[in-house]
Homo-oligomer: A and B are copies of this chain.
Amino acid sequence: MIGERYTEVRALPEKAGDEVTVSGWVETLRVHAKVAFVVVRDGTGLVQCVLPAGEVDADTWELGTTLEQESAVEVTGQVKPDARAPGGHELVLRRLEVVGASSDYPIQPKEHGVDFLMDHRHLWIRSARQRAVLRVRSELTQAIHDYFHREGFVRIDTPILTGSIGESAGTLFSTEYFGETAYLAQTGQLYVEAACPAFRKVYCFGPTFRAEKSKTRRHLTEFWMVEPEVAFADSEDNMALQEDFVSYLVERALERCSDELEALERDTTPLEGVRPPFPRLSYGEAVARLQEGGSSIEWGDDLGGGDETELAGMYDLPLFVHDYPKEAKAFYMKENPEDPRTVLCNDLLAPEGYGEIIGGSQREDDLERLRARIRAEGLPEDAYEWYLDLRRYGTFPHSGFGLGVERTLAWITGRPHVRELIPFPRLMNRLDP
């Protein structure tokens, strides 16, 4: 329907013997006395184009042997099976045209510093490794939608601009909004909770914002999060949903992104065993385990990154740590009836040291308890009146979680830094391009 003038490189195996026209960008050029090899990337794959000196006119030879990296070209030739060529086919050229020249392309086949690459992110994404991770991201985000659609969830697009606020007031971006102040959402959770009585199972999936002065490899100021919420589901149901969902995502990446994971040199062996059930440790058990290992941690202390790594290292699967002390967690989490010092919540820690990828909880559904928590946290009660209404008019047990896309992708692709896992990362010191 579109671009019928061109054959996509990924379709070349079906075109052996045919004459086709391909358009794309020059990745590499090798010139020998009698033949030149131009590798063209068209966005769907790479194809080696063979330019035989004796079979094209002098102008075409001259043009083909002086091509610079990233020049846009249109090439016409015959598709020839060749086991040595990437993709198993090469193109024997009859015609070559430069559509858009390129000279002094900034990114060369050598090591560049990270700042340089980030300054040139709009070009860097053309590189092999960046293409691979962003393809996995695209498949993963589709898988997220497919999973919830299949399971009967209704998608609720929650607002970015909000008068009320999410988790912690200290890390909010704000904007002037026709005389009022609007905050950029840190979560869509409060809104998906409101949608539960309409649709039972709902989710949102979009960008979220944290004005955190963090410069770690695991922080972005703008990142994507998927947040399902289920009515009449308790904390156990919630963990069951999480392990099923995460296993689906891993399976889908293994099934559909094997080329990309190979290009990224990801050892997929640890991923292949990821299926429910995942191991579970209560916070109390986790503290005891750490103490057995010689840690001086005491009940009530927050688990640090090192603690999480140590705990996760005890298992080959993602690990649930559940029922944390109330003080460590957000105001909306439900008090644990069996131990009121704690709340019904969980983190999910990825294996292999990739850290937390999910935070989830059963929500406080008691009006007075919730109001007390809002007051205790010093949050503006007025802004939460509509949220309290959900406890006034037919309150119900419900649970949900948030999965961070970039952190999950870090684990699946085996890439250490989230800045490569979103097309145009936003960091404390990075707003361009």
Contact = CB atoms under 8 A, between A and B. Distances in A.
A137 B202 CA distance: 13
A415 interface: no
Count of chain copies: 2
24 contacts: A1-B241, A2-B237, A23-B396, A25-B396, A100-B395, A122-B386, A122-B387, A123-B393, A130-B198, A134-B154, A135-B199, A138-B156, A142-B149, A145-B145, A159-B424, A160-B160, A161-B426, A162-B431, A164-B432, A164-B433, A174-B175, A178-B213, A206-B207, A386-B433
A119 B319 CA distance: 42
In the complex, which of the residues A71, A126, A240, A431 has the most CB atoms of chain B within 10 Å of its own CB atom?
Answer: A431
Interface in A85-137: 99-102, 105-106, 120, 122-123, 125-126, 130-131, 134-135, 137
Interface in A407-433: 422-424, 426, 428-429, 431-433
Interface of A: 1-3, 5-6, 8, 10, 23-26, 41-44, 70-72, 99-102, 105-106, 120, 122-123, 125-126, 130-131, 134-135, 137-138, 141-142, 145, 149, 152, 154-164, 173-178, 180, 182, 184, 191, 194-201, 206-207, 209, 211, 213, 221-222, 224, 230-233, 237-238, 240-241, 244, 365, 383, 386-387, 389-397, 422-424, 426, 428-429, 431-433
A99 B222 contact: no
Nearest to A231: B43
A396 B200 contact: no
A159 B2 contact: no
Nearest to A382: B432
B431 A182 contact: yes
Given A43-B198, A145-B145, A163-B431, 18 more contacts: A3-B237, A41-B197, A42-B200, A44-B199, A72-B197, A100-B391, A100-B396, A102-B392, A105-B393, A122-B191, A122-B387, A138-B156, A160-B184, A162-B431, A164-B432, A173-B175, A173-B182, A177-B431
